[in-house]
Structure 1
Amino acid sequence: MSVEAAAPADVLPGGGVRFDKVSGSMSSTFQGKLDMEGGISLVGKDGTRLDVLKPSGETPLGALSATPQTTRPGQAPQTGARAEVAYPLVPGSVSGRPTSLTTFEVTVGSTNFALKEAGAARINDAFGTTLTKDATFMKCTAVLQGRLG
C-alpha cells in the first residue's frame, strides 16, 4: 500500500503530505480546531483507493475526523460517513514559537494515530486487512504555520 496526497494537498519529499488550505483557530495554549482541504489517499496494489478527505481536528488533544471515499477499479467512488482517528499527544510533544510579529509556528512531535471502529472497518473492507480499533495505525509529525488575527 502506498500513501499519496489528495488535492489540494501536496506530497512532500520523504512521503509527507502538506496541507496548504487550513482554516480554524488556536489559542496561545494550542486549544482550537483546524479544518483542512484535500487529504491523503491510501492506494492498494490492485488499484483500490481510499481517499481520506477534508480532515478536521481538535488541538492539542482530541480526534481527527475525515470523509472516506473508496474507489475500486472499474467502479464508481463510494463515500462513507466521517470516521475518526484518536491522537493522544505525549506531554511536551507540542511546542510553538513566533516567527515574526504576526506569524507563528507550532511543532508536534511524533504522535500515534489510532483508528476508531468505523475507520478500521473502512480500511479492512477496502484492502482486506485486519486492523482493529484503538491500535496504532500510523505515526505523524506536524509543523503548523499560522498568522495572528
Structure 2
Amino acid sequence: LMRMHGGFSHEQKPSTLWLQGQSLVMLSLVLDEHREDASCLSCHFNPMERQKLLRAKDLLLADLTQAPGVAELARESGLSVLKIKRGFRVLFNNSVYGLFQAERMQEARRRLANGNTSVMTVAADLGYANASHFSAAFQKQFGVTPSTFKRGM
C-alpha cells in the first residue's frame, strides 16, 4: 500500500497490480466495517441509559405547550446534558427540540383534521402566543399552511 501512494508505474508486474488491487479491496472492507461500527452508537447505550432516554422523551412530550429545557430533562432522567443530546439524535433520529416540534406539529395536524377547531385555537392550545409563528412552523413541517390544510379536509 505504501508504494501506491505514489501511483502506479508502467514497470509494475501484473501480479503486483493484482496484489495492490486486492489490498484496496481488503482496506475498503475494513473501513466499511469500521463505519458500520461507528454508526451503531445506540449499541453504546446500556439498557439503563436507554430507559432513561425513553423517560426523557416521555417528559419532553408530556406537555406540548412548552418544551422543558435539556438541563431539566437531564436532571429528571438522571443523565448528563451531553448524553441526552447525543441519545436523542441516535435513538430518535432528531434533536431534543426537533422531536418536540415534530410531535407538536403532528398534534396540531390531528386537531385540525378532527374537528371544527380553528387555527387560532389550535395554535393557542399548543402554546403559540403568535398564530403566524404557528402557521410558519406548520408550513415548514407539512408544506402547506394550517388554513389550507383545514380547507382541504
CA radius of gyration, larger in: 2
- Coarse TM-score class (shorter-chain normalised): under 0.3
TM-score, normalised to structure 1, is 0.22
Query: Structure 2 length normalisation: TM-score?
Result: 0.21
Q: Which has the higher strand share?
A: 1
